[in-house]
Amino acid sequence: MTNNTALPTLDFGNTRLAFHAKSDARLKRTYLMYRMIGFPFTARVGPQVLNVMLRNHLPGAKAIVRGTLFKVFCAGESLEDTLLTTRQLQQFGVRAILDYSVEGEKTEAGFDATCQEFYDTLVLGAKQQPVAFSACKLTGLASFDLMEKISAGKSLSSEETAAWERVKARMERLAEASAAGQVPFFIDAEESWIQDAIDALAESLMERYNQTEPLIFTTVQLYRHDRLEYLRGLIQRSRERGYVLGVKLVRGAYLEKEHARAEAMGYPTPIQASKEATDHDFNEALRLCIDHIDQLAVCAGTHNEESSRYLTELMALKGLPNSHPRVLFAQLLAMSDHISFNLAHEGYNAFKYLPYGPVEAVFPYLSRRAQENTSVAGQSSRELELLSREMRRRGFWAW
């Protein structure tokens, strides 16, 4: 379908297409994993127990994680491991965003090592066609406390100023690798109390490296009530300063943490008053981006069917072809395959975040996946329903 005027008729319920990249063994494993984390008790207590086991180096702990959550939600422990998944996805028109998912580094040596790994993903991306994007979390490259201080507008000691300069140099190195290999990269959004530091850095990099093409993408979390306005400002500033804005839109992953901190410290929560308000702003942000598509590239980082469908409708109404290079859709590995693979089948730019890294280091990411599937109403049951249907369609028993 190109240059549509009629609205697209996507069928996200097509499980044959949704799971056609999954072998029978992989389908069964994913189904069982979702069954397990579908129980609130297992999803909440399981990761806590595994975390204690991992931290105390108890025998078998790594093997259990590796054989369960890790095997379903991660693409491997090393960059080389990810290539297999990347190639499998590519066969079905879905492209990879490499995501070295190490969080909470605390030392300069740790930040440098993480930077090297991000750098390698960009270099590998340049060499290996299937790798389309790379993603990075600034908390892998910079001290959380330092970013909190900068975001609060506090003055820095000379040591802290030097540390921040090193963070900028790490980001600069990544931006240069991105430009040299023409592999764009996403800067993820994190907690609101460190986000101003991340935003400032992302904007200054975009201004320098996105002169003609969107190479660097910042992230906007629409569960924050101030972010639609921030997005409007971003679009305006990019126009005034003459660069192409790259923006990934997400709802936001730190809801409970945000509420808890706001309550503990006695300030109003930055989070929207309801899920409906978040949904409204997310969809409004999609509309805004399509209205300004001459000025920006947008990636919808979502597992929400309605928002994904809405974006396809906005594209059609604007007369954009499905494969328009500035409109991207992304989901996490092993989540919402029904969205990714059905979109790819219709020619949209569909991507999967491929988290990878050593088992202990990616564990916080894995815990969030398990817990998200209980806290997000309907997500786990929707995945399970689709997986069960596909199991039965292939002649396997599913309850």
State the minimum distance, in angstroms, from the CB of residue 338 to ligand FAD: 13
Q: Which residues contact 134 (CB under 8 A, 6 or more apart)?
A: 97, 98, 99, 118, 121, 122, 125, 178, 183, 184, 185, 186
Q: Is 303 in the site for ligand FAD (CB under 6 A)?
A: yes
**Which window, 50-58, 126-134, 298-306, 318-326, contacts ligand FAD (CB under 6 A)?**
298-306
User: In the numeric block, which tokens belong to residue 3?
Assistant: 């240059």
Could you give the string, one character per residue 258-277, with x where binding to ligand FAD holds by CB under 6 A and - elsewhere?
A: -------------xx-xx--
Which 166-195 positions form the footprint of ligand FAD (CB under 6 A)? Answer: 188-189
How many residues make up the chain in this entry?
Answer: 399
Q: Is 199 in the site for ligand FAD (CB under 6 A)?
A: no
State the minimum distance, in angstroms, from the CB of residue 137 to ligand FAD: 8
State the minimum distance, in angstroms, from the CB of residue 111 to ligand FAD: 19
**Which window, 32-40, 43-51, 126-134, 249-257, contacts ligand FAD (CB under 6 A)?**
249-257
Q: Of 331, 371, 380, 388, which lies in the binding site for ligand FAD, with binding defined by CB under 6 A?
A: 331
User: Using CA of residue 377, residue 248, residue 311, residue 240, what is the dihedral sign?
Assistant: positive
Closest CA to 333 of 70, 93, 134: 70
How open is the CA angle 218-199-284, to the nearest 5 degrees?
A: 55
Q: Is 302 in the site for ligand FAD (CB under 6 A)?
A: yes
Q: Of 301, 338, 342, 384, which lies in the binding site for ligand FAD, with binding defined by CB under 6 A?
A: 301
Q: Is 223 in the site for ligand FAD (CB under 6 A)?
A: yes
Q: Where are the beta strands (DSSP E) in the chain?
A: 94-100, 131-136, 185-187, 216-221, 245-250, 296-301, 327-332, 349-356
Cα separation, 389 vs 373, whole angstroms: 19
Q: Is 308 in the site for ligand FAD (CB under 6 A)?
A: no
Cα separation, 14 vs 341, whole angstroms: 9
User: Given the rule CB under 6 A, which residues bind ligand FAD?
Assistant: 188-189, 219, 221, 223, 250-255, 271-272, 274-275, 278, 301-304, 330-332, 353, 376, 379
